[in-house]
Homo-oligomer: A and B are copies of this chain.
Amino acid sequence: MPSYPKVVYKEEGMREGMQIEDANIAVDDKIELLDQLSDSGLKNIVVGSFVSPKWTPQMERIDEIVTRFTPRPGVTYTALALNSRGVERARQYSPPLTIERDPYPRLSAHMCDVFTRRNTNRSQMQEMETWPQRVAQAQELNVKEAGIGCNASWGSNFLGEFPVDSLMTLLEKEHNMWDEVGINVRSVSMGDPMSHCTPAKVEESLYRVKERWPEIDHFRLHLHNGRNMAIASAYAAMRTLGPDDTLELDGTIGGFGGCPYCGNGRATGMAPTEDLLHMMEDMGIETGVDIDKLIDCVWTAERIIGRELYGHVSKAGPRPKTVDQLYDMNAPFIETLEEARHFKKGPEVYEGGIYPYREPITSPYRERVEAGLPAFDSADGDFPWKQDWFPSKDE
């Protein structure tokens, strides 16, 4: 059975999420949510961005948030800054902020020349023109290991789909520049601001990178979810990489997020953190989060934002695993989304529903589980496989 990479997860709701929501959401509400996120077990939280309030009024009061939230020991808090002015602003608040540094000096460019012009006011060519300077800086600092990367990796709302061949050609170009100066490439980053990822393309891209450059063992994926492919793509990445690899993944509680430049607005989204981490726990990848507390965060976010978000585990509840989480066998009909919240709110929310059974439901399996036994014994066990009553064609 598979063994998975080490996964480093970053919660982007306060940045990717809030930047596309109403600019008038109260600072107090945002701080409440941030403090709740801090208490959920998440290890890496982006608190917002230091950007121009002219174009991103949602982040105008980031200073207040950073000043007033309650940092929790062991959690790394970062903020996005797109230029030196932003970094300077963020530095004022470090600590509690950690000034985010890519562990590797990196050459990167957008595959989509239109998106980079819309989003960052630079052409793809201007991005590439920074490469020689970056390489020279790395040489001066005597750096031994570096990274390569691309953004809008698999396609663009303004140019269409990009074949993985083109992505590999861009990465090859970057890799060659590091090769020329004898700096080892250990990391690759792939972004997807316009939600063109698919699990098949992510899998193919990572597979080809591993095949071409086996020494790369650090992978960073920033996947958007406008076409509902982020979770499947993240799974494909975990499945493709191995236990010696590190995979950095980003997502947002509830799955909200987006930017005004990509063309999908609030329909962009990211992988819902609670759904993705609940999957990872099931795969045996430790996340450290308390899923119940994450669901509290989603409910808080929905209240603050004023609408239902995209995640599912916050609506249906986690898969019950322990006896205390199991649903009541004799619950009546559960139909509405409000009734479905019984997993946290208790049976009051479905009381009075239709009860269609003449006799109360009982089950020998449930008795076993409540007694602390597994529902099924192992394959050689005696329940129910070898019970006298087990039917056979001879009966």
Q: Mark A residues whose CB is within 8 Å of B.
A: 1-2, 20, 55, 111-114, 117-118, 121, 123-125, 128-129, 131-132, 135-136, 155-163, 165-166, 168-169, 172-173, 177, 180-181, 195-196, 198-201, 203-204, 225-229, 231-232, 235-236, 239, 260-269, 272, 275, 278-279, 282-283, 308, 310-313, 315-323, 325-327, 329, 331, 333-337, 339-340, 342, 353-354, 356-357, 361, 363-366, 369, 375-376, 378-379, 384-385, 389-393, 395
A378 to B143, CA, bound (A): 33
Instruction: Give the residues in chain B near A376, CB-CB below 8 Å.
Output: 111, 162-163, 166, 169
Q: Are A340 and B201 in contact (CB under 8 A)?
A: no
Instruction: Give the residues in chain B near A20, CB-CB below 8 Å.
Output: 335
A339 to B165, CA, bound (A): 33
Instruction: Give the residues in chain B near A364, CB-CB below 8 Å.
Output: 113
Q: Are A114 and B393 in contact (CB under 8 A)?
A: no
Instruction: Give the residues in chain B near A375, CB-CB below 8 Å.
Output: 111, 156, 159-160, 162, 166
With beta carbons under 8 angstroms apart, the residue of B128, B129, B158, B269 that contacts A366 is B158
Q: Are A369 and B160 in contact (CB under 8 A)?
A: yes
Q: Are B201 and A334 in contact (CB under 8 A)?
A: no
Tell me how far the C-beta of A134 lies from the nearest C-beta in chain B, rounded to whole angstroms: 10
Instruction: Give the residues in chain B near A196, CB-CB below 8 Å.
Output: 319
Instruction: Give the residues in chain B near A316, CB-CB below 8 Å.
Output: 195, 226-227, 264, 267-268
Q: Are A198 and B279 in contact (CB under 8 A)?
A: yes
With both beta carbons as reference points, the residue of chain B lying nearest to A234 in the complex is identified as: B232
Tell me how far the C-beta of A308 lies from the nearest C-beta in chain B, rounded to whole angstroms: 7
A322 to B160, CA, bound (A): 7
Q: Are B391 and A165 in contact (CB under 8 A)?
A: no
A157/B227 contact (C-beta < 8 A), A118-B361, A177-B392, A334-B263 known: no
Q: Are A128 and B283 in contact (CB under 8 A)?
A: no
A275 to B310, CA, bound (A): 14
Instruction: Give the residues in chain B near A111, CB-CB below 8 Å.
Output: 375-376
With beta carbons under 8 angstroms apart, the residue of B114, B320, B340 that contacts A361 is B114
Instruction: Give the residues in chain B near A166, CB-CB below 8 Å.
Output: 375-376, 379
Q: Are B336 and A266 in contact (CB under 8 A)?
A: yes
A380 to B264, CA, bound (A): 33
With beta carbons under 8 angstroms apart, the residue of B117, B279, B311, B365 that contacts A159 is B365
* 7 A-B interface contacts by CB (under 8 A): A55-B356, A111-B375, A114-B365, A158-B327, A159-B366, A177-B392, A265-B336
